[in-house]
């Protein structure tokens, strides 16, 4: 699933579950940890959502602290219009009205001092 050049840099591949996978690549400095996700949809049970974020938390703990971390995938959420309380997390461009999954995502992002950089619409 990755190009030959990237295969040479492969340090770790961890398919955690059907919703989460971790890839670690050798970088010049630092190494790169990429976690891909497919978050539960809004109709999933709260138990499924809690399990997803718990598994994601454990997966992130496996990433060395010095690695450049990228979390990417389908979060199945909308964080809604920017307000002053979250502007530093999502920037000026958001879409739709915030949903419960958006609340979960924002809580997760805040707790890890992360930020949301790109939203792609198809």
**Tens-digit pLDDT string for the chain (122 aa):** 667 777 789 999 999 999 999 999 999 889 999 999 999 999 999 999 999 999 999 999 999 999 999 999 999 988 877 677 777 787 766 767 888 998 999 999 999 999 887 766 55
Q: 90 with 116: CB under 8 angstroms? A: yes
Query: Residue 120's pLDDT is what?
Result: 62
d(CA 32, CA 99): 31
Rounded to the nearest angstrom, the gap between the alpha carbon of residue 97 and the centroid of all alpha carbons in its chain is 20
Query: Residue 33's pLDDT is what?
Result: 97
Query: Residue 1's pLDDT is what?
Result: 62
**pTM reported for the whole predicted model:** 0.86
Query: Residue 119's pLDDT is what?
Result: 66
d(CA 27, CA 18): 27
Query: Residue 8's pLDDT is what?
Result: 85
Closest CA to 36 of 54, 64, 17: 17
Query: Residue 79's pLDDT is what?
Result: 83
Helices (H), 11-99: 46-61, 87-90
Give the DSSP letter of residue 28: S
């Amino acid at each position: 699933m990755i190009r030959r050049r990237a295969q040479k840099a492969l340090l770790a591949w961890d398919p955690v579950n059907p919703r989460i996978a971790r890839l670690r690549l050798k970088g010049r400095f630092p190494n790169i940890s990429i976690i891909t996700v497919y978050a539960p949809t809004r109709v999933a049970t709260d138990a499924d959502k809690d399990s997803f974020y718990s598994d994601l938390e454990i997966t992130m703990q496996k990433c060395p602290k010095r690695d450049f971390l990228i979390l990417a995938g389908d979060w199945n959420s909308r964080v809604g219009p920017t307000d002053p309380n979250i502007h530093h997390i999502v920037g000026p461009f958001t879409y739709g009205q915030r949903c419960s999954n958006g609340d979960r995502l924002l809580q997760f992002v805040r707790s890890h001092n992360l930020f949301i950089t790109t939203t792609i619409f198809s």
